[in-house]
């Protein structure tokens, strides 16, 4: 058989595994298997690409794969679930860095204009993804201020950077021998990545992560054109397209346009302070038990606070006891709960919560009026009724889980501090709301002991 046919067949198999694996990632029940299938596809793609390039001495490549694989395995096992958003941001950044380096390495004296354009695109998008992801990591890990960072003349600076990038890119394509223009594109793209993300508030980070994921795919796609590698083009296109689709889903879930997220931020929408009528009604776990014990329909709404408390396993234990007591239990999952898309799904899947109990916002909201007790665990902005009731609120119009419609609402929080968006929540003052202050895991453990006893 012709060796070129084997190479082409390997690319087709790898591309097919990418597509099939991505399809399986769309369901929690098949996501783990889909991830493994995609990983096998990537391994095949790497091996075939090396053979296609005629590389014979593999020792350095194998050494890099072993070292990189070890780092990835250790990081994946060691990272806490609360730090998963930061790790995803770093992975996006590393993908951008890889595309930047591949595009740079593809530069050759006899490069055509088309190749030069794809090199510039891979470097530009890769550079933006790298530094933008590092800033997102800093905001998510709270090593940087999570709020929007703005300064006077910011738009003018950004405009000058864009003009510089375009001008340098055009000059590089005209005079590829003058590498100063290429270095200018690299430097400006890295600076622009920082400038793009710093004015975006922490509450918008789920959208930013999705968008940066798309950028990393587009950079890989451009790098694929630069080195004429079909499987890299396919893989980059899949990541880019899926990232854009996920970004649109996130924006819809927040009732925000992408342009509003990128060029505005919560801080610029409205800072009007709204006076909320009512008073806080605290309750302890022992008293909450009596209400739960009589409930026949319970909805659990997880948020980032559940991740911080690492309470997902105790939540599963509580749900099992409630079901044994005759209650129907479901979990309401908001698309932007947590600090990355699918954050709550991953946490609950880790605790072996059945997939059919994980209801999306549109599924659980129509049922909320029939819910006896809604338990909000560390969620804030995604259950904030201000989105429906207060027109001056920055999140007005944002789809939220309507827990206020339940007969009784338990809100588990450490304190009365506002959520990641920094917005007051009228839910805490509702007549049917009871606040249970303290560590969520400890509170849930007390409820488990009461129900078990």
% pLDDT > 70, the chain: 93
Give SS3 for 143: coil
pLDDT class of 215 with cuts at 50, 70, 90? very high
Dihedral in degrees, nearest 10, Cα atoms 15, 16, 17, 20: 130
Could you tell me how far CA 287 lies from the centroid of its own chain? 37
What pLDDT score was predicted for residue 419?
63
What pLDDT score was predicted for residue 322?
95
Average pLDDT over residues 12-16: 94
Average pLDDT over residues 212-231: 93
Average pLDDT over residues 373-381: 91
Between 420 and 306, the more confident residue is 306
The pLDDT tens digits for 319-355 are: 999 999 999 999 999 988 877 777 888 888 888 898 8
Mean pLDDT of the chain: 87
What pLDDT score was predicted for residue 29?
76
Please state, in angstroms and rounded to a whole number, the distance separating the CA atoms of residues 438 and 442. Answer: 7
Task: List, as one string, the DSSP characters of 247-298.
Answer: HHHHHHHTT--HHHHHHT-GGGT--PPPP--S---B--HHHHHHHHHT-SEE
Q: Which residue has the tokens 């969620």?
A: 379
What are the structure tokens assigned to 128, written together? 């933006």
Answer yes or no: is pLDDT of 267 > 50. no
Average pLDDT over residues 109-118: 92
Answer yes or no: is pLDDT of 266 > 70. no
What is the arrangement of strands in the sheet containing 328-333, beginning at the earlier edge strand?
358-360, 328-333, 297-302, 373-377, 408-413, 433-437
Residues in the chain, overall count: 453
Question: What b/e readout covers 256-269, taking b as 16+ CB neighbours within 10 angstroms?
Answer: beeebbbebbbbeb
Is the Cβ–Cβ distance between 231 and 48 less than 8 Å? Answer: yes
CA angle 242, 19, 349 (to 5 degrees): 70
The pLDDT tens digits for 141-158 are: 888 887 788 888 888 999
The pLDDT tens digits for 292-307 are: 999 999 999 998 888 8
Given 372, 381, 405, 439, the catalytic residue: 381
Q: For the ranges 170-174, 199-203, 224-228, 235-239, which has the lowest average pLDDT? A: 199-203
Confirm whether 381 is a catalytic residue: yes
What are the structure tokens assigned to 362, written together? 């549109």
Homologous superfamily (CATH) for 285-452: TPP-binding domain (3.40.50.1220)
Sketch the domain layout of the chain as residue ranges: 1-78, 82-267, 285-452
């Amino acid at each position: 058989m012709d060796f070129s046919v084997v190479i082409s067949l390997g690319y087709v198999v790898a591309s097919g595994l990418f597509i099939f694996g991505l399809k399986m990632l769309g369901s929690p029940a098949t996501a783990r298997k889909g991830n493994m299938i995609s990983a096998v596809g990537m391994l095949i793609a790497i091996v075939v690409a090396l053979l296609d390039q005629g590389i014979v001495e593999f020792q350095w490549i194998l050494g890099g794969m072993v070292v990189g694989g070890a780092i990835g395995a250790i990081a994946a096992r060691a990272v806490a679930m609360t730090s998963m958003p930061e790790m995803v941001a770093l992975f996006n950044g590393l993908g951008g860095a890889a595309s930047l380096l591949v595009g740079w390495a593809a530069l050759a004296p006899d490069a055509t204009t088309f190749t030069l354009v794809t090199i510039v695109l891979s470097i530009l998008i890769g550079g933006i993804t790298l530094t933008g992801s590092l800033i997102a990591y800093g905001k998510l890990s709270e090593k940087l201020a999570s709020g929007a960072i703005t300064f006077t003349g910011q738009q003018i600076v950004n405009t000058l950077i864009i003009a510089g990038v375009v001008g340098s890119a055009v000059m590089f394509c005209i005079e590829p021998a003058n590498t100063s223009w290429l270095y200018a594109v690299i430097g400006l793209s890295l600076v622009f990545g920082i400038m793009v993300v710093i004015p975006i508030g922490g509450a918008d980070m789920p959208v930013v992560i999705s968008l940066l994921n798309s950028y990393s795919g587009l950079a890989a796609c451009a790098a694929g054109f630069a080195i004429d590698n079909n499987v890299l083009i396919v893989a980059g296109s899949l990541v880019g397209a899926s990232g854009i689709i996920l970004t649109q889903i996130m924006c819809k879930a927040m009732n925000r346009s992408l342009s509003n997220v990128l060029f505005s931020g919560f801080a610029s929408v409205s800072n009007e302070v709204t006076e909320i009528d009512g008073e806080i009604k605290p309750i302890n776990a022992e008293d909450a038990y009596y209400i739960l014990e009589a409930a026949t329909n319970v909805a659990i709404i997880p948020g980032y606070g559940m991740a911080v408390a690492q309470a997902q396993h105790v939540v599963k234990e509580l749900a099992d006891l409630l079901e044994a007591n005759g209650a129907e239990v479901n979990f309401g999952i908001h698309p932007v709960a947590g600090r990355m898309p699918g954050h709550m799904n991953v946490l609950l899947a880790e605790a072996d919560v059945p997939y059919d109990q994980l209801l999306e916002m549109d599924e659980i909201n129509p049922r909320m009026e029939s819910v006896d007790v809604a338990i909000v665990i560390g969620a804030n902005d995604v259950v904030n009724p201000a989105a429906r009731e207060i027109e001056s609120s920055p999140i007005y119009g944002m789809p939220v889980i309507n827990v206020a419609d339940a007969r009784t609402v338990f809100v588990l929080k450490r304190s009365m501090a506002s959520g990641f968006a920094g917005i007051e929540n009228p839910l805490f003052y509702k007549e049917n709301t009871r606040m249970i202050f303290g560590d969520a895991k400890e509170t849930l453990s007390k409820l488990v002991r009461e129900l078990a006893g």
